[in-house]
Structure 1
Amino acid sequence: MSLVPPNNLRQKIIEMVENSQSHPTAWFESLYAESQGDPSLIPWATLVAHPQLQQWLENHAIEDDNKTAVVLGCGLGDDAEALADFGFQVTAFDISPTAIAWCRERFPNSQVNYTVADLLDPDHNWREKFDFVLESRITQSMPLQVRSQAIKAIANLVAPDGILLLITRFRDTEAAPDGPPWPLSEAELSAFKTCGLTEINRHEFVAENRPDARQLCIEYKSINEPFS
């Protein structure tokens, strides 16, 4: 499935973003609701876990059944299910009630705690709670004026010794990009370090659907020791 939306869908998303004056991510609910259960109208919905997450899971193991994970902006739930199958106790949230209902419908017997929540105003009980935090293309979906708030909120979710796996588009300039999405810059990536995380691994990858877009997968940790 192509993740590049047709021109009419892309234009529709741009219009939704421009009309979301009350909240910078309110347009997600509009998109999910208007799709009426058709995943082909959700441009990032592949119905499988992200390949970079799958690769990370293949290269790691956990022995503690109490390890917790959270998926930000979980969409239709495939990443969350992969983490649950791996052995994490998973919380997955999205600002869209329709997306969360869709997850529960797709995975009726899931062990994942699917819930509606706002990254820009997260549950205070989640602070430093999660051993593994997955941020897959979420910050890049937010306008630049709320980016620092989003990055701080993400960093605050990571437990001591925890991991943040960031999957994002990247821009090699600090100039404001056109969007959505709005790829992250090096200065914005550095903000995760300012918030107390250490970058321990980074690689650039090519997405088959968008070979023209620079993509990064970065692993951060709250300390310098590798995850095991």
Structure 2
Amino acid sequence: MNFIEDSFNQHQWSLLLFFCPSTKNYQKFATDAFISKSVHFYPQLSLKSRILKLIHLGSLILWLGPALGSWLVLRYSQQKAGELSATTSLIYKVFFFTITLEHLAFVSLLASGFMLAYSYHLFSLEWLHYKLAIVLLIVVPLEVVDVWLGNWKIQKLINKRNSGNRLSERENAYIHFYHKTFTYIALVAIPVSVMAIMWFAITKTV
């Protein structure tokens, strides 16, 4: 009721009680007023906005899901079948495909998020500034390194090894760093960043 009471002054409530003395009529009037104000503050989304939100959420799922799943399968194969096994080599091909999908989805996620913020004139809001700071300072640098390592350096080294060439100690160190140190950092930093971003998006408390 606080929401409705804020929408009417004392004189309007006096008229309401005069013309709607019964409890039933009073409740109906209050409900209609609440629905009317809700429609005013929460208008129907346009088709463009719905499509953008669908793309944004779909991109988020494709960014987080497939690459992580294929990496877990790859790590399991490395531990059980061995790094140089035929099974691991086959899984590597799937893994490189999914990280390419991950990075394309990340670009789509950024683009759709920017278009949504522009459409709703959100760039002046403080909570969006916090979101952008997390994205630009944490997530984007991790993704840039992942593109360089995963889509280029590591894939090139794996293809070289599959061709029968022996990798140097330095080249093997790159593979070890990517699958261990870098990935473990990303497994902590990205979920925490995503949860913080979602918190600011949902609560809008700052």
- For normalisation by structure 1, the TM-score amounts to 0.24
- For normalisation by structure 2, the TM-score amounts to 0.26
Give the greater-gyration-radius structure (CA): 2
- Structure having the higher helix fraction is 2
- Structure having the higher strand fraction is 1
